[in-house]
Amino acid sequence: MQIKKLLAPMFAPLVLSAAFGLMACGDDSSAAPANPVVDPSTDPSLIPTDPSTNPSVNPTDPSTNPTVTPTDPTTPPVVVDPTAPWTPTVALASTANTAYPATVYQAWKPFHFVTFEEESVYYADIAQDYADIFLPEFLPAGRVIWSSQTTGYYAKQCQDKNSTVSGMKARGCTVSEGTGYGMLLTYFNGDEDAFIRLWNYSRAYRSYNSTSTVPSYLTPWITFSFHYNEIDNSSATDADLDIATSLVLMYYKTLNQAYLADALNIIGAIWDHEVNKTSLLLLSGDTPMWDGSTGPIVYNLSYFSPVALRLFAMVDPNHNWAGVLDAMYNYMATVQAAGTGVFPDWSDAAGAAAKPANGSADNTYWTFNKESVRIPWRIAWDYYWFQDPRALSVLTTLNTFIVGKSGGDPSSAALAINYSWDPAKKDANTSTVPAHWLSAWCATGLGNNPAWLESCTPLVNAKVPSNSGSSYFTDILLGMYSALLNGAFVRPF
């Protein structure tokens, strides 16, 4: 294993991080796929292996997930009573359907999630190497499959040409963003087996990337299957926030210290590598591209998860997470007030739309687009759980904007437009409204427009995952938004 571990980086381009980094949502989210009903039973290859049929896999056995010890001594986390039921004070639509999130999840999982056991069969020619990363303590494992890549670098790096499997399951890459989303989805859907598998996927790569003196607590943003073939080990802040958040939530749900210990390791690394210590704003990753070492800092507000920062403050009083929360909300208000009311995908320190150095948004950075579509989910989640007036302000401004554009009709084609933050630049038009865009604009009504929420929630609930090679981003965000809008986001304290 050690020889392979030393040789693997030699096959990865040294400049990849600068050229391609953090493009997880860029290749499929700008499309507007239809939402056909897909029956996984028509394709046996889409049905995941039942873990219960494998006697060596027992995800409920604590011995498969040994306690992880945090590196720094910390003050005990905020004590909560996990038996006390939480009652939300922000009302969802009366048209919300509590069964719908599970329907979406059950359609999503067989197509977008794959287990270690399954992929050992799919990629039989490389499966003998899986054990180099996935030691017994990191099993069972599973991953969320990234989108198909038909051209360019990732077409070469993200498929095993020797595989006899075609289509979706031949997509070899996973992005850390998908792992974070997947852990949140599995948590809110009560799928502990899949949660543990995704957690182990992250743990295995973090352990593999560690050295004898420097532990690695940030998940590499793109990985290949369950293999050591290195693609890019830099981090993506939104993924790290979501992975840590899901672990804190699972800790409060189960009181299992292993979840908290690993969360604290990640949280400490986020503070060390992904927070601008001068402004307390969240950086986009852990490389010089994002921290100002090689050029002006460009921020991504869709990486801002207020709920994550609140949870971090509860379990990690040794760092100023409340200050980061305040700085991010203040920055968000500056950006929103300086433009048309929507957010650009990327913005500079002054709050103006700016082009990121990774080349992912050269022609879209000033629009409410493939990055910003996540902002309503993150802010509505904060408002639903904590009623922060700053969250209400953001949602109200966004909702007033789209109501004005659509005439108050959430079925309007106006929801398909990628609106410009800059009044001097043009909007970008698309032909249809994809499910995650409809969901995002719907969530803006959670603030103070119940009529909008009543009208748009049934429209969201008529959507199902597209389950296509390009629908990774659309489908996983539909799962997230649907869970929030229909009451599956239950606070565990």
How confident is the model over 149-187, as pLDDT tens digits? 777 777 777 876 655 566 555 578 999 999 999 999 999
- Residue ranges covered by each domain of the chain: 93-273, 275-462
Residues of the chain falling short of pLDDT 50: 7, 9-20, 26-60, 62, 64-66, 73
313's tokens: 């403050």
Same fold? 93-273, 275-462? yes
- In this structure, what token pair is assigned to residue 484? 């929030």
Which amino acid, 130? Y
Q: What's the rounded Cα separation, in Å, for the pair 201 and 233?
A: 14
Cα–Cα distance measured from residue 38 to residue 138, given in angstroms and rounded to the nearest whole number: 32
**Cβ contacts of 77-83, under 8 Å, gap ≥ 24:** 77/251, 77/260, 77/314, 77/315, 77/316, 78/314, 78/315, 80/252, 80/493, 81/493, 82/252, 82/253, 82/255, 82/492, 82/493
pLDDT of residue 47: 34
Yes or no: say if 34 and 432 are a contact pair by the CB < 8 Å rule. Answer: yes
The burial of 186, by beta-carbon neighbours within 10 Å (0-12 exposed, 13-18 middle, 19 or more buried), is given as buried
Q: Which two tokens stand for residue 174?
A: 């996973």
Question: Alpha-carbon distance 361 to 373, whole Å?
Answer: 14
* Total length of the chain: 493
Query: pLDDT at position 126, please?
Result: 87
pTM to 2 decimals?
A: 0.89
pLDDT value, residue 263: 98
Longest dimension (CA), the chain: 63
Is the Cβ–Cβ distance between 78 and 315 less than 8 Å? yes
Phi/psi at 195 (nearest 5 deg)?
A: -60, -50
Q: How far apart are CA 169 and CA 120, in angstroms?
A: 12
Which is nearest to 200 in space by CA: 138, 132, 115, 261? Answer: 138
Taking alpha carbons only, the member of 404, 389, 397, 411 closest to residue 90 is 389
Point out which residues pair with 144 in neighbouring strands: 113
CB contact at 8 A, 201 and 174:
yes
Number of H helices, E strands in the chain: 17, 6
Both tokens of 276, joined, read 């601008």
Other CB atoms within 10 A of residue 281 CB: 18
- The 8-class DSSP code of residue 223 comes to E
- At residue 327, φ and ψ (nearest 5 deg) are -65, -40
CA 461/CA 448 separation, integer angstroms:
21
Q: Which CATH architecture has domain 275-462?
A: Alpha/alpha barrel (1.50)
C-beta of residue 344 within 8 angstroms of C-beta of residue 353: yes
**Omega prior to 70 cis, within 30 of 0:** no
* pLDDT tens readout for residues 244-279: 999 999 999 999 999 999 999 999 999 999 999 999
How far apart are alpha carbons 238 and 241 in whole angstroms? 5
Q: Which CATH code of 1.50.10.10, 3.60.130.10, 1.20.120.160, 1.20.58.220 fits the domain covering 93-273? A: 1.50.10.10
Instruction: Give the whole-angstrom CA distance, residue 438 versus residue 457.
Output: 9
Dist CA 90 CA 76 (whole Å) = 30
User: In a 10 Å sphere around its CB, with 0-12 CB exposed, 13-18 middle and 19+ buried, how is residue 166 labelled?
Assistant: exposed
Q: Residue 174 in 3-state DSSP? A: strand
- Nearest residue to 303 via CA among 222, 378, 362, 199: 378
CA distance 92 to 107: 24
